[in-house]
Structure 1
Amino acid sequence: MTPLIDPKLIQLNVSAKDWRDAILKAGHPLVKNSLVTDNYLKSVIKIAEEMGPYIVFMPHVALSHAKIEDGALKDGIGLTVLKKPVPFHNKDNDPVKYIFTLSSTKANGHLDQMAQLVNLLSKNDFFEMVSHANNVQEIINYVNECEGEEK
């Protein structure tokens, strides 16, 4: 089974000047690893500008995503932990500290990824563990442990 989050797509202590910068920086590992194009990240920003900050779906957490045709090349989820939380102008869930960048190449493929992600986010200690992680491997170990519990 493919891991939910590839270690190459995790970033810790990232500085961002605003929400747009945060989306671009969070998506950088996905561009670098050919999961999405630069246009994909521009589309995320454009959609959020037009539709509002709906991508901030729970307190302190954004799910950065766009359509397949906007430049999704491979399936994957990245995780970026911001050094300092950034406002996305979502009055209920600001400021954002955690950004998951989602790329799905199948019409409803993101639903499977979302189900796995929601299961992970429902763990009581997930965000505390991520906030205190000293390195990417600690997060990967935790995620693998959680996936093992599901089987």
Structure 2
Amino acid sequence: MNTLSSLLDPSRIRVDAPVKDWKEAIRLAGGLLENDRIIEPAYTQAMIDMVVDKGPYIVIAPGFAFAHARPSAAVHDTAISWVRLATPVEFGHKRNDPVSVVVALAAVDDSAHTRAMAQLARIIGDKDTYSRLNEAASASEVHRILASIPGESGTPSSESTARKVEQSAVSSTHDKILTVCGNGLGTSLFLKNTLETVLERWGWARFIQVEATDTISAKGKAKEADCVLTSGEIARALGDVGIPVRVVEDFTDTREIDAALRDLYDV
């Protein structure tokens, strides 16, 4: 699988870029991919249309937006671009605005970039690393920081908590959690990676399968799952799917997801 550094060439990184609004920010991120003939302009427009149609669900962490759209004939290769804005812009997210970093993903399928997404989720979730990225003076410096993957943060659960988690997991209904976004290959993977980190810490990973999926598929798969984790915009689009749907504001925050799981499984 591709790593983050292999998908993000320094030529596709911009720092302190001036833009007037979120659409121009996505156009700039998409343009960097267009320049390398990774995508056609139609894909850049599709990334914008996703936000217009589904809301600012791509703003998955404070100050960070992850622009993407479905694989299509307009995508020729799997790659990432990175844009740090000179002045943050509003996407319309009630908690995570304003956005200062926009990363754009182009993917030819739903699997080639999964390792890179796990690395990127850890980097954005690490406050020290994210601060260094926001202070980097050049594209090459940003690339060097991104190529260095931070270790896992936090502490393992206590033995008594682990026993409670194991007992709860054994008694759960379907042993599956769905993470959901508009197309099942971008923001839902961020959330899946962070959720799996929490499950690993709890010793619960062997009990629970986590599946990243899109809005339409989630409605049919809900009967196979215990719960859904997603953004507020996607939760409203899903409506009542017959199982608990929990909104997560920061897809990289293990503490928020830890608290959601404890509530959902009564741990």
Q: What is the one-letter code of the residue matched to 1:95?
A: P
Taking the TM superposition and a 5 Å limit, the aligned residue runs for 1:32-111 are 32-69=35-72, 71-111=74-114
**Secondary structure of 1:105's partner?**
coil
In structure 2, the partner of 1:122 is: 125
**Secondary structure of 1:13's partner?**
strand
Q: Give the CA deviation at 1:90.
A: 0.7
Name the CA distance, whole Å, in 2 between partners of 1:99 and 1:70: 23
Contact 2:65 / 2:99 at 8 angstroms: preserved in 1? yes
**Secondary structure of 1:54's partner?**
coil
Q: Which has the higher contact order (CA 8 A, sep 6+)?
A: 1
Q: Which runs of 5+ in 1 are unaligned?
A: none
Name the CA distance, whole Å, in 1 between partners of 2:135 and 2:46: 32
Q: Give the CA deviation at 1:130.
A: 1.6
Superposition RMSD in Å: 1.9
Q: What is the one-letter code of the residue matched to 2:123?
A: L
Which of 1 and 2 has greater Rg? 2
Q: Give the CA deviation at 1:126.
A: 2.1
Contact 2:119 / 2:149 at 8 angstroms: preserved in 1? no
Distance 1:141 1:113, change over 3 A: closer
Q: Give the CA deviation at 1:144.
A: 2.4
- Count of residue pairs the alignment pairs up: 149
Identity level (%): 29
Q: Give the CA deviation at 1:120.
A: 1.8
What are the superposed Cα offsets for residues 106-138 of structure 1, whole Å, 9 maximum, x if unpaired? 233343332121122122212211221111121
In structure 1, the partner of 2:149 is: 146
TM-score (norm 1): 0.89
Does 1:29 find its partner at 2:32? Answer: yes
TM-score (norm 2): 0.52
What are the superposed Cα offsets for residues 44-75 of structure 1, whole Å, 9 maximum, x if unpaired? 11111110011111111000101111622111
Name the CA distance, whole Å, in 2 between partners of 1:143 and 1:61: 15
Name the CA distance, whole Å, in 2 between partners of 1:61 and 1:55: 8
Name the CA distance, whole Å, in 1 between partners of 2:48 and 2:147: 31
**Secondary structure of 1:145's partner?**
coil
**Secondary structure of 1:90's partner?**
coil
Q: Which runs of 5+ in 2 are unaligned?
A: 153-267
Contact 1:103 / 1:110 at 8 angstroms: preserved in 2? no
Contact 1:74 / 1:105 at 8 angstroms: preserved in 2? yes
